[in-house]
A and B are shown apart, each in its own frame.
Chain A
């Protein structure tokens, strides 16, 4: 069973920068996994931030960016704002018509 791991939580100061990562229990994440990042606030459906590693979804501020860092996918928030306080999930396409979500990261802005 493939596990996609994320940091449980991160705290960032307003205006600060934070990088969340998305890794595999075995192996490296590459662009072939089409890493996607979602933001979710309580009671709401996930909102797409980044897809296909680094493509920003329509209407997403450019302070959100995606990349591959080493053997993981990464989401960087540059210039964090109060309303960035949310849960963030990555999802990987496993190549055999199967998707796995990451464990999620709770970001606090304070």
Chain B
């Protein structure tokens, strides 16, 4: 059973960079899957941020593309997201997920990141 666990600072200052890591267990990140980040502002809906393959190939949500970088560390079986120039609008629960066949089949429990001074 694949398990994902997000980690990172729960508080980021405005204009700073949000950085989170997703540790994958119960399976290898070097398989045939893509790996995604999804976020959910408090009381609002879900938003796909982007995805990465083991090779390092990435795809991003066009609305966030200029601020997002997703990377993979195969040796540590984990992948990460960085979001720059954050504002209060970036306050959200951030989930990492594994892509199945055009959907997200395994999810982390999510981690709340608050942007505030």
Contact = CB atoms under 8 A, between A and B. Distances in A.
Interface residues of A, number: 21
B104 A48 contact: yes
B62 A46 contact: no
Interface in A13-46: 34, 36, 38, 45-46
Interface in B49-94: 51, 59, 61-63
A52 B100 CA distance: 10
Interface residues of B, number: 22
B51 A97 contact: yes
A60 interface: no
Interface string A64-105: 000000000000000000000000010101000111111110
A51 B47 contact: no
Nearest to B63: A1
Contact of A103 (B45, B48, B100, B110): B45
B103 A34 contact: yes
Contacts, number: 56
A104 B46 contact: yes
A45 B110 contact: yes
User: Taking each of B46, B62, B63, B100, which has the highest tally of chain A beta carbons within 10 Å of its own beta carbon?
Assistant: B46
A45 B105 CA distance: 11
User: Taking each of B38, B46, B103, B107, which has the highest tally of chain A beta carbons within 10 Å of its own beta carbon?
Assistant: B103
B35 interface: no
B60 to A, nearest CB: 8
Contact of A101 (B48, B51, B59, B100): B48
B45 A52 contact: no
Contact of B59 (A34, A97, A100): A97
Contacts of B109: 45
Interface of A: 1, 34, 36, 38, 45-46, 48, 51-52, 57, 89, 91, 93, 97-104
Interface of B: 36, 38, 45-48, 51, 59, 61-63, 95, 100-105, 107-110
28 contacts: A1-B63, A34-B101, A34-B102, A36-B102, A45-B109, A46-B46, A46-B95, A48-B103, A48-B104, A51-B100, A51-B101, A51-B102, A51-B105, A52-B101, A91-B104, A93-B103, A97-B59, A98-B48, A98-B59, A98-B61, A99-B36, A99-B48, A100-B48, A101-B38, A101-B47, A101-B48, A103-B45, A104-B45
